[in-house]
Amino acid sequence: MSFTQVQRKTPPRLYRSKLFVPGARPQLFEKAAAGPADVVCLDLEDAVAPADKDKARDNIVQGLNEVNWGEKLVTVRINGLDTHFCYRDVLALVEKGGERLDAIMIPKVGTAADVYAIDMLITQASAYVGRKKKVGLEVIIETAMGLANIDAIAAASPRLESLHFGSADYAASQGMRTTNIGGGNADYVMLTDAEEGKARARHWNDLWHFPLFRMCQAARANGLVPIDGPFGDYSDADGFRVQASRTAILGCEGKWAIHPNQVALANEIYTPPPKEVARAEAILVAMKEAQEKGLGAVALNGVLVDAASIRQAQVIVEQMAMIREKAG
Ligand code: COA
Ligand code: MG
């Protein structure tokens, strides 16, 4: 390990599914609170029309104070720093949202200074009302500038908890020629070499691999949790499953759900599969026995395991322990 230690900035908790609920539809708040999502995000930004922003803000303040959110992480997505809604969102949430507000999500962050500015507002408003609980920050990386500045953004505030990737806004910002939200694109392919008598195969490539990988890396290097963003076609369970499985393997701890029918899918996919849990547990047992015998590396079912395997296995076992605890 480096002499520089990376500490996780949040206590371990479940982020498998983050259900978005438009602030202009307060009748959905109770449903979201009673459902199985690990995280609920009340939205003031793109799911709310400009004419409804003030009403949505009032609804959310009321919902934060009155709805029983149980054990859920409760966050609110504010409007971007380029709008005049933004500062009013922050002040209303921190001054009137009560102690149940866990975190504020900032969309379209472009520079570390964006995070600094919101941190400053939260800090001032928190002091004014004497808030006891620290309000966390969640950042959406969804612009070319945000991705270019991601390392500085990820280190911009002690309030930061998680980074999220938003594919639709990212694609628009980069001028990508695609209109889907987080899925594949039939024209983003490679052709296999021509071989006599054989048709050339078209292999679909993943448009989102680089930004997602980069986000996972920047998040972990700064002790933050990486979370995959939306998958727009909420009637395509198979498409959601594949996209989510990929990011679960890359290191994301969860994914947004833009409709309740994506929540159970996310909870399932960001739960380590039983086969992996069993293997991780077996690795920890094998390594404990090995260490008792003074050995650093041993074979488990014909495969090398060593100290790095312990760290890999611990990630899975600790995640599973939280999930078992929540399931009772
Ligand atoms: N939270 C809680 N409950 C929700 C919900 C949500 N986001 N979206 C839908 N529901 C409920 C509906 O009220 C309905 O409940 P019922 O069976 O008791 O009547 C049920 O789930 C099925 O809803 P459905 O009719 O399929 O959806 P809809 O047409 O009402 O809404 C969306 C579809 C996509 C507009 C809606 O899910 C939504 O607004 N999602 C969030 C979008 C968002 O915030 N985007 C920003 C982030 S990308
Ligand atoms: Mg967006």
pLDDT at 270: 97
Angle of helix 85-96 versus helix 112-129 axis, rounded to 10: 40
Q: How confident is the model at residue 41 (pLDDT cuts 50, 70, 90)?
A: very high
Which residues in 30-41 are b (16+ Cβ under 10 Å) and which e? Answer: eebbebebbbbb
49: left (phi over 0), alpha (psi -120 to 50) or beta: beta
Whether 257 is in the pocket of ligand 1, judged by its Cβ within 6 Å, is no
Q: What domains appear along the chain, each with residue ranges and CATH number?
A: 17-271 (3.20.20.60), 275-327 (no CATH)
> How many Å lie between the centroid of ligand 1 and the Cα of residue 102?
23
Residue-wise pLDDT for 18-31, tens only, equals 999 999 999 999 99
pLDDT at 112: 98
> How many Å lie between the centroid of ligand 2 and the Cα of residue 166?
6
For ligand 1, atom 36: residue with the closest CA: 259
Confirm if 251 and 243 have CB atoms less than 8 A apart: no
Residue 129 in 3-state DSSP?
helix
Strand ranges for 68-117 from DSSP E = 73-77, 103-106
Question: Kind of pairing, strands 303-305 and 298-300?
Answer: antiparallel
| Smallest-distance ligand from the CA of 173 | 2
Angle of helix 53-66 versus helix 85-96 axis, rounded to 10: 20
Q: How confident is the model at residue 328 (pLDDT cuts 50, 70, 90)?
A: confident
Residue-wise pLDDT for 299-325, tens only, equals 888 988 888 999 999 989 999 999 998
DSSP states of 215-237 as a string? HHHHHHHTTPEEEE---S-TT-H
Query: pTM for this structure?
Result: 0.95
Residues written for the chain: 328
Residue-wise pLDDT for 204-246, tens only, equals 999 999 999 999 999 999 999 999 999 999 999 999 999 999 9
Confirm if 265 and 233 have CB atoms less than 8 A apart: no
For ligand 1, atom 26: residue with the closest CA: 259
DSSP states of 155-196 as a string? TS-TTEEEEEE-HHHHHHHHT-S---SSS--TTSEEEPPPBT
Whether 22 is in the pocket of ligand 1, judged by its Cβ within 6 Å, is yes
Q: Indicate the average pLDDT of the chain.
A: 96
Whether 21 is in the pocket of ligand 1, judged by its Cβ within 6 Å, is yes
Nearest by Cα to 46 from 85, 97, 16: 85
φ and ψ of 192, to 5 deg? -70, 160
